[in-house]
Structure 1
Amino acid sequence: MGKRILIVEDEESIRKFIKINLERADFIVLDADTGEKGIEIARNENIDIVVLDIMLPGIDGFEVCKTLRNEFPKLGIIMLTAKSQDIDKIMGLEYGTDDYMTKPFNPQELVLRVKSLARRMEKIEEADESILRLGPFRIDKYSRKFYKNDIEIDLTPTEYSIAKLFMDNPGKAFKRDEILNLVWGYDFVGDSKIVDVNIRRLRAKIENDPAKPYFIETVWGLGYRWRNMD
């Protein structure tokens, strides 16, 4: 694949174990044991995906995630947490994480998660040059940019994939599992709540009033749809 992966993990044994497994999967892997070092590497290297631990010395993974997401909106981020509390997972997603895994985890599952995110990003990069317009929104599939009223809005790779799926199918109601399969991939084994959190995050960026969403409608008991504005 040739994707460049950055591991930010302070436990050396875990960091080395992850690195070995990702390198066996033909990824180019860099690593850091602190958030500060991770940010420095991201700023100086052409990184595609970051595997980021929450519990780090110095600045924690949430702050690292926030910094990286602000500076590199197209970067893929997978968060690692040693805690099982749902709030940690949700907080990680709210900071802009594309996926998360709870420790302890199967290293092969992490490799599959990284591959799934890499495929999602490659699919975006291979999109055609057409411009998709719907109401006040415009997607430039070639440059992978999203606009509202001609003002660019930075979306994460996952948010972009969801917006594109909806805008390609205005008025179509999608079940949560359908969105999970079409965006994250059929081999994704995580919690379907990741769909709701990303929808909430996308609404916060594109809705005039996120508390009263107009463009992304909730279909109660089913999932979501993009309002057909034609």
Structure 2
Amino acid sequence: MSRLLIVEDEPRIVSFLAKGLQAHGFTTTHAPNAAQAANLALGGDFDLMILDLGLPDQDGMVLLNELRGQGFAQPIIVLSARDDIHDKVDGFAAGADDYVTKPFRFEELLARIKARLRNAQPQATINDHILTVGAIGLDQLTRRVHVSGHSVELSAREFTLTETFMRHPGQVLSREQLLDLVWGYDYDPGSNIVDVYVGYLRKKLGDDCIETVRGMGYRMRA
């Protein structure tokens, strides 16, 4: 589940965006001004920012420049009423990944968000039947797994869970998603079977290969 930061001071637009994005599986956080946006962006774990330029305390273009200068590398989509070509050029020059003008269609913005997240996502290297993420290699035909060139023995369920993570490197997968993808049927929501198997993989593949994202699930480090 991707986390999006909405930087916008118009409550009506914020409500519209939050409801639409949450309905499509995103988690959203709102910042009504540049100061809060900077604190959240630099101190949080967001996958993408939607940025209005007409903020009450600072021009959004200035904020964009400052965030890029301070190392915020996640995609930023400008959502602004400024539709002059010079504003768009300045936005891209300041570090925007995309520029959408108001009024806008939600479907178009959603498509652009998905495209930017897809482009920003670390991809597993696929060579015919082999998946590779970092030091981990998985052969889908022989069902063998190697870590830094050393063979690792996995159970059938451990192999399937590893393969699932490797097909979504860097992406947070909830416990419910993992249950559905790996076990194929519903477990008791209170079951800790996913946590148990993640523990098994950490022992076999490396303690830091799978990261816990509190309140959301797990992701494989790319």
TM tier, shorter chain? 0.5 to 0.7
* Alignment correspondent of 2:10: 11
What is the CA-CA distance between 1:44 and the residue it aligns to? 2.1
Is it true that 1:109 corresponds to 2:129 in the alignment? no
What is the CA-CA distance between 1:83 and the residue it aligns to? 2.1
Higher alpha-carbon Rg: 2
The 8 Å contact of residues 48 and 76 in structure 1, kept in 2 or not, is answered as: yes
Report the aligned-residue RMSD.
2.0
Between the aligned partners of 1:69 and 1:6, the Cα distance in structure 2 is 15
Between the aligned partners of 2:34 and 2:9, the Cα distance in structure 1 is 9
- The Cα offsets for residues 5-35 of structure 1, whole Å up to 9 and x where unpaired, read as 0000010100111111111111111011101
TM-score by length of 2: 0.55
- Identity percentage of aligned residues: 34
What is the CA-CA distance between 1:73 and the residue it aligns to? 4.4
Matching residue within 115, 118, 123 for 1:126: 123
What is the CA-CA distance between 1:128 and the residue it aligns to? 3.7
What is the CA-CA distance between 1:127 and the residue it aligns to? 4.3
What amino acid is the match of 2:6?
Answer: I
Alignment size in residue pairs: 129
Is it true that 1:76 corresponds to 2:56 in the alignment? no
* Alignment correspondent of 2:40: 41
Between the aligned partners of 1:24 and 1:71, the Cα distance in structure 2 is 32
Between the aligned partners of 1:72 and 1:118, the Cα distance in structure 2 is 18
Give 4+ residue runs of structure 1 displaced > 6 Å after superposition: none
Between the aligned partners of 1:73 and 1:36, the Cα distance in structure 2 is 15
Change (3 A) 1:21 1:63: same
TM-score by length of 1: 0.53
Q: Please state whether the residue corresponding to 1:84 is helix, strand or coil.
A: coil
The 8 Å contact of residues 42 and 72 in structure 2, kept in 1 or not, is answered as: no
Unaligned runs of 5+ in 1: 130-140, 143-230
